[in-house]
Chain A
Amino acid sequence: MVSHELTTPDLKSERRVRHAPRFFNMNRLTPYFFLAPAGAVLAVALLYPIGYMIYASFLSWNPSQRIHEADWIGLRNYTNLLKDPNFIESFFVTLKFASVVVTLEMVIGVGLALLLDRKIRGMSVLRTIFILPMMIAPIVVGLMWRYMYHPSVGILNRTLKGWGLDPIPWLSDPDWALPSVIIADVWQWTPFIFILSLAALQSLPQSALEASRIDGASTWQQIIHIKLPLMLPVLIIAGLLRLIDAFKVLEVILVLTNGGPGLSTEILSLRISRTTSEFRELGEAAAMSNYLLLLLLIITLGMFLFNKVMDMRQQRLRAAAQEAG
């Protein structure tokens, strides 16, 4: 009696074991079934265009030709570009634009966040106003600033005139055009750094800040010794995200200067767009895009690497704490 009761469940479980492999396989495949639609979208919308672009970059391809009619010229598009002074200049304009823009946005954004991280009445309204520029479509931002930069009816020059100063050739002077474009971009994207910094600030351990006050830190010392070091991981990620974006900026500059005067504001994405539409060199444009892609890939990899290092550090610290405790 007793032994019978004991063996019955054993038999059952054995039968289950025999059936297990098939179930196991089904279970293992299930996630892939669910992932399949997303995978398909990814393949069609992302991988196919990139593959197409890489293929096109090896062709001498005029838009009037079908792609299979274009001549295969190997790496010549890439080597030509490296010898093209216009491309090189465009590359350095982009580099200059991106580095200046991100530096300014980081300094102003973090500064504003430090300034506004306090409890004052109306602060939530103020914060909302600060992040408004980010929500405006870039084309609209470009148009807005073009009107403001207008040499005679723009508000900037009218104000200068009102103060008895000489008007500034915002967009028509090669020395002024890049700063003007930078100002517009800083205006639009500083809020991005601002909200991320503010979020980072508000998640700082309050008691550590209080401890630093008792330890004798002034407001500045608190910022330098406690707040900024603790915000650093967020700031690095925010800066890299902005850098990636700054390398790809197009609309605002397209509307404001269309790359001029001369090549003074012709950033890479604008040059790519012009190479396709004006110079009708699809292969060369594709090669240029790939150079840009490569650059952004390096930054992105840097970001992932940074995240990975931070994760590993956290894990190591946690393990050490467990060992200690």
Chain B
Amino acid sequence: MPKIHFDHIEKSFGTVRVLPPLDLQLNDGEFTVLVGPSGCGKSTTLRILAGLESLSAGEIYFDDAPISHLAPKDRDLAMVFQDYALYPHMDIARNMSFALRLQRAPRAEIAAKVQRVAEMLNIAHLLDRKPAELSGGQRQRVAMGRALVRDASTFLFDEPLSNLDAKLRAKMRTELAEMRDTLDKNMIYVTHDQIEAMTLGDRIVVMSEGVIQQQGSPEELFKTPANQFVAGFIGSPTMNFLGGSLAREADRLWVRGDGFLLPLTDEQSGRLNGNTPGDVSVGIRPSSFSADPKVGAPIELHLAVSEYLGAQSVLVTRCGEEEVLVEYDSATPMKSGVSMTFGVRPEDIMLFDRASGARL
């Protein structure tokens, strides 16, 4: 499988620049997820790679060979579209075999390949139907099947699950994860859903406004986000951000805000030494709150609403004027309207520059 290198690619539509220079290197055989809010340029990046959009500047390399001058069909890739993009007038077998038929592959070989992929995806009984006769999930499978039959080196997925209902989406996500493990292919997957990104990606590339905010393994992004955007985008429920300022007291750094005073770890203090911005954003994940106030530093929260989700509940609380989400074990009954003290370990506190959003 080729290594893919986006070398400072740019894209403008007229005077509107949708991708500022973007540089990205993808490793061989990796499942890469491009994730970000809509309009962040992730789909454009994928479509440029597919050859459906032209480049305004820069170059894409497959193993050091430039490919931006090649037509889509000569790039050895297959793509699954958000709306499946099946050919409505062809039955499923003909949909899946279209590329092979254009290549004039031997008929027996085409039939064998289609049959094998169809069995793998459990759609063998649908081969003589038209796309309009299938349910959304089945169409999705056919779209994947059409890509798999091609046997291309690189698979592109453009939000393939976003037209499915929640239950089906979870199921297809699992199947995709299985496919990822059995197929030794480059896979590039675009989504706006961070759960899909976290569960599927070997490497996640978080984008916003055409700029790569951070790339790394799901764990890296969750544990060491580079900035406030990534911290807020990855993880569910989303991270809480509280306004605060740094203060030095009793020989260590504290962060003080409306209704809380939390100590920083020595490591954080060391990093910040000599460089102490006044205003910071304090990031605490909902899962970082402990019911035992003796764990770490205490913080008092006023409980507004409890959202029961099963084993876990999400408590919507207030700290001063700001809303704070807390993940909490449902076994302990909670009453709204009361104040409660939680414990937060200093190492679970992340600090971000209020102006730039950069992690401190």
Residues of A participating in the B interface, judged by any CB pair closer than 8 Å:
205, 207-208, 210-217, 221, 225-226, 229-230, 314, 317-318, 320-321, 324-325
Contacts and interface: CB of A to CB of B under 8 A. Distances in A.
15 contacts: A213-B71, A213-B72, A214-B79, A215-B98, A216-B103, A217-B73, A217-B98, A217-B102, A221-B102, A225-B98, A230-B88, A317-B130, A320-B129, A324-B133, A324-B134
Given A214-B50, A320-B133, A229 B98 contact: no
B88 A321 contact: no
Given A213-B73, A324-B134, A207 B85 contact: yes
B52 interface: yes
B282 interface: no
A325 B135 contact: yes
Contacts of B52: 210, 213-214
Given A217-B102, A225-B98, A211 B134 contact: no
B185 to A, nearest CB: 15
Interface of B: 50-52, 71-73, 77-79, 81-89, 98-99, 102-103, 129-130, 132-138, 146, 150
Nearest to B47: A210
B4 to A, nearest CB: 16
A212 B124 CA distance: 22
Nearest to B132: A317
Given A210-B52, A210-B81, A216-B99, A318 B88 contact: no
Given A207-B83, A213-B72, A216-B102, A230 B135 contact: no
Contact of A325 (B77, B99, B130, B137): B137
Contacts of B50: 210, 214
Contact of A324 (B88, B103, B135): B135
A314 to B, nearest CB: 8
Nearest to B168: A325
Contact of B99 (A215, A230, A314, A324): A215
Contacts of A225: 87, 98, 102
Contacts of A214: 50-52, 72-73, 77-79
Given A210-B85, A320-B129, A216 B137 contact: no
Nearest to B82: A207
A29 B39 CA distance: 55
A211 B85 CA distance: 6
A208 B135 contact: no
A205 B132 CA distance: 14
